[in-house]
C-alpha cells in the first residue's frame, strides 16, 4: 500500500474515532469536569508514568543482555525517542526506530535488536493478561462486572492468552533452533526465488538472536519481573486519573481498563489518538458506570499526560542528536530496509 494512501486511511481512522468519542459528550460539561479534577492527583499520576518508563528501560536491558551490555543512559534515550516518535508519527514507527537507534550506537544487528521489541510485546501481553485474570478470578471482578459483559471479557482473555503462549513458543523455537528454522526457510526456495529464500533464511537466523533471552533463565526471569512495575504503574496512572475525576474505579478494576487501553494504543494513529480515548471512555462507562462527560474529560487528560511529557523530552533528545521529523522518517525507512521484518 502506498505511503500516501496509508497516511490518508490513518487520518480518516483517527477522525472517525474522535468523532465517535465526542459524539455523545456535552463539551461544556466535559470542560467543567476537567476544571474540577484534583490537580494533586493528576501530578501524582505523572510520578507513576515516570516509573513505567524507567521500568521499561531496565527490562529492555535484560532483554538485550544476550546481545551485549547496554548502558542505562543509551537505552533510556532510545526508549524516549522511540515513544516520542509513536506520539508524533503514525503506524507506531517508534517501535522500529527505538531498536535501530540503539543498534546503531551499540553495534548490534538491527534485526536482532528489533526482535527484543517483539519479545517485549510478548511480555507485555502476558503481564496484562495475568493482571486481568487476577482481577476477574481472585479480586472480585467476576461479581462486579455487568453480567452481559463478563462472558466477552473471559473469551477475549482466553483468545489473547492462546496468542501469547503461541508467541512465547515461537520465540523459544527461534532462539533454540535458529539453524533449523533457517534451513526450513531456505527450503522454501522450491517455491520462492532462490535469492529471496536465501535472504529470508539469513533474516530468520539473525532475527533469532534477539530472542536469545528465552535461553537464559536469569535474564528472562528479571525481564518478566520488571514487566509488573511497568503495568502496575500504568494501572496506577489510570486509577489515579479516575479518582481525580471522581470516577468510582477500584484499583484492581484498572487491570481491566488497561487491557482495553492496550487495544486502543495498538491502533496506528499518531499517539494512539482516538483509539486510546475511545477505549478509556468505553471502559469506565460500560464496566464501571462512570458518567460519560467525566469519562471523556478523564480520557483526554490521561492521554495528554501519557504522551505530551515523553514527546517533549523526546524532542529535546532528538534536537541534541541533530534529528528532525523528516530525519526520523528517513531513519525509519533505513531501519525497515535493514530489518526486513516490518511490512
Q: Does 76 reside within a domain?
A: yes
| pTM as predicted | 0.86
- Is residue 18 within 8 A of residue 10, CB to CB? The reply is no
Its domain, for residue 92, covers: 30-174+212-339
Asked if residue 169 is part of any domain, the answer here is yes
DSSP-derived secondary structure letter, 140:
S
Give tens-digit pLDDT for 292-303: 999 999 999 999
Mean pLDDT of 89-109: 86
In-domain check, residue 2: no
Residue burial 42-69, b: 16+ Cβ < 10 Å; e: rest = bebbeebbebbbbbbbbbbbbbbbbbee
User: Which tens digit of pLDDT belongs to each residue from 17-70?
Assistant: 999 999 989 999 999 999 999 999 999 999 999 999 999 999 999 999 988 899
> Does residue 189 sit within a domain?
no
Look up residue 342 and give its three cell numbers. 516490518
Q: Minimum mean pLDDT among 118-122, 134-138, 221-225: which range? A: 134-138
Sorted by sequence, the CB contacts under 8 Å of residue 28 that are 6+ apart come out as: none
- Report, as an integer, the average pLDDT of 236-254: 96
Is 85 among the domain residues? yes
In a domain, 244, yes or no: yes
Spatial distance between the Cα atoms of 245 and 249, rounded to a whole number of angstroms: 10
Three-class DSSP category at 139: coil
pLDDT exceeds cutoff 60 at 341: no
Q: Is residue 188, in this structure, part of any structural domain at all?
A: no
Distance CA 309, CA 269 (A): 18
User: What is the Cα–Cα distance from 97 to 81, expressed in whole angstroms?
Assistant: 8
Structural domain contains residue 6: no
Total domain count, the chain: 1
Amino acid at each position: 500500500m502506498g505511503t500516501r494512501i496509508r497516511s490518508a486511511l490513518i487520518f480518516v481512522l483517527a477522525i472517525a474515532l474522535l468523532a465517535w468519542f465526542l459524539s455523545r459528550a456535552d463539551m461544556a460539561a466535559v470542560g467543567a469536569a476537567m476544571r474540577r479534577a484534583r490537580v494533586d492527583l493528576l501530578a501524582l499520576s505523572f510520578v507513576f508514568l515516570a516509573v513505567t518508563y524507567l521500568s521499561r528501560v531496565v527490562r529492555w536491558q535484560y532483554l538485550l543482555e544476550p546481545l551485549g551490555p547496554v548502558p542505562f543512559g543509551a537505552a533510556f534515550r532510545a526508549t524516549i525517542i522511540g515513544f516520542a516518535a509513536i506520539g508524533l508519527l503514525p503506524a507506531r514507527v517508534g517501535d522500529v526506530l527505538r531498536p535501530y537507534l540503539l543498534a546503531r550506537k551499540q553495534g548490534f544487528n538491527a534485526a536482532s535488536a528489533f526482535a527484543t521489541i517483539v519479545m517485549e510485546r510478548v511480555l507485555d501481553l502476558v503481564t496484562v493478561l495475568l493482571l486481568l485474570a487476577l482481577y476477574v478470578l481472585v479480586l472480585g471482578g467476576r461479581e462486579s462486572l455487568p453480567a452481559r459483559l463478563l462472558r466477552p471479557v473471559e473469551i477475549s482473555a482466553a483468545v489473547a492468552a492462546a496468542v501469547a503462549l503461541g508467541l512465547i513458543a515461537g520465540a523459544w523455537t527461534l532462539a533454540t533452533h535458529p539453524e533449523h528454522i533457517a534451513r526450513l526457510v531456505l527450503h522454501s526456495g522450491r517455491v520462492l526465488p532462490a535469492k529471496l529464500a536465501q535472504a529470508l533464511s539469513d533474516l530468520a537466523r539473525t532475527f533469532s538472536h534477539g530472542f536469545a533471552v528465552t535461553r537464559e533463565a536469569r535474564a528472562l526471569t528479571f525481564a518478566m519481573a520488571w514487566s509488573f512495575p511497568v503495568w502496575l504503574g500504568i494501572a496506577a496512572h489510570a486509577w489515579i486519573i479516575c479518582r481525580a475525576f471522581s470516577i468510582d474505579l477500584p484499583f484492581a478494576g484498572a487491570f481491566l481498563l488497561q487491557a482495553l487501553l492496550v487495544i486502543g494504543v495498538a491502533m496506528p494513529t499518531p499517539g494512539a489518538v482516538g483509539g486510546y480515548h475511545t477505549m478509556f471512555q468505553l471502559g469506565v462507562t460500560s464496566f464501571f458506570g462512570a458518567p460519560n462527560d467525566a469519562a471523556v474529560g478523564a480520557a483526554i487528560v490521561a492521554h495528554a499526560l501519557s504522551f505530551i511529557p515523553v514527546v517533549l523530552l523526546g524532542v529535546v533528545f532528538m534536537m541534541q542528536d541533530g534529528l528532525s521529523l523528516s530525519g526520523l522518517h528517513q531513519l525509519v525507512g533505513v531501519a525497515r530496509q535493514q530489518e526486513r521484518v516490518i511490512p
